[in-house]
Structure 1
């Protein structure tokens, strides 16, 4: 295999929209969202609710510009720092933070957290 065909994500950008659409977006295949979205969020919520996972600062280093796994933690950590692989990932998250029109929509993940908390 030609090593020049490999991507180096610290230099090359992660295709955030493709990652989102394929695995974690509201329209992604249910088998992906159950395994990659709902299951981790359920485990994380269980840990914070039990009191075993708490603190004032959380540092996250995820692959690509994803935040769904942080949603169950927002109420339990005062400061969350997200480290990203490259500038493209930072820009994608900045769009979400600024509520820009073309930002990734994580409302379906927020609904999962609300259901786990017993809210609607």
Structure 2
């Protein structure tokens, strides 16, 4: 029997940011997404930033929740990271970690994953400290405004990275392309865009609440990027290994592109 109950929208209804992290990013033994959401993102983004010539002064992060593990490699190639959030609870959760306050979410297990394949892995390196130092601003944004951070005007970014946000704010494919266009306006003329998304998903769960996810495949994203004037540089998808009914994606995809002059 299909679930016909209405699904919430991430940017409209909000959610418990700590529970979201506990579900999808914790170090608990029963956390099912270690391979898909943690290890794959960390390993693949390390490879992408290292060989993809993606670097510069400013990186803007537009992602769901209060993720930081996708920024480990980015913090080695960008001097300044500006994080945009639509959810006040996610801002509070992230700032608690950035400021190293009591009760901040524990990310040590993801830092260890990042460190595993570093050449100097025998010498502990403070990956979390690098990210904290690179995060210059955590800014509330309104996705419906022409300038999402109004009245603040952001400098053009050398790179925008977005983890799953387009999936959860887009009601349909036209919405996805509309928001994609907004994200691309944050870039300088030769800037790079990195999208991390869930293929063929329909929902994700936080606590007792079920949230909408846009269903799409790799071909749709490729066509959307090309249609907005991007040249695709890299694409990799990992088939689902997680056994859980919290979310129903079939694969996790990372795709990188740059603007065509």
Find out whether 1:39 has 2:31 as its counterpart.
no
Distance, in Å, in 1 between the alignment partners of 2:28 and 2:52 is 33
CA-to-aligned-CA distance 1:23-58 (integer Å, 9 cap, x gap): 111116464111011101111100111142212111
Q: How many residue pairs are counted as aligned between the two chains?
A: 118
CA RMSD for the aligned pairs?
Answer: 1.9
Higher RCO by CA contacts (8 Å cutoff, separation 6 or greater): 1
Task: List alignment gaps of at least 5 residues for structure 2.
Answer: 123-261
Aligned ranges 1:72-83 → 2 under 5 Å: 72-83=73-84
SS of the residue 2:92 aligns to: helix
Aligned mates of 1:47, 1:6 — CA distance in 2: 34
State whether structure 2 residue 64 is matched by structure 1 residue 63.
yes
Contact kept, 8 Å, 1:22 with 1:28, in 2: the verdict is no
Map of 2:13 onto structure 1: 12
TM-score (norm 2): 0.42
Q: Would you tell me which structure has more helix in proportion to its own residues?
A: 1
Deviation at 1:9, TM superposition (A): 2.8
Kept after mapping to 2: 8 A contact 1:65/1:89: yes
Q: How far apart in 2 are the matches of 1:109 and 1:83?
A: 22
| TM-score after normalising by structure 1 | 0.85
Which stretch of structure 1 is more off in the superposition, 84-93 or 14-23?
Answer: 14-23
1:116–1:73 Cα change, 3 Å:
farther
> Secondary structure at the residue paired with 1:82?
strand
Deviations 1:80-102 (A, max 9, x none): 11111211111000100111111
Higher strand share: 2
Mapped to 1, the partners of 2:7 and 2:31 lie a distance apart of 29
8 A Cα contact 1:45 1:116, kept in partner: no
In the alignment, the residues of structure 1 paired with residue 17 and residue 93 of structure 2 have an alpha-carbon distance, to the nearest angstrom, of 7
Which is greater in Rg?
Answer: 2
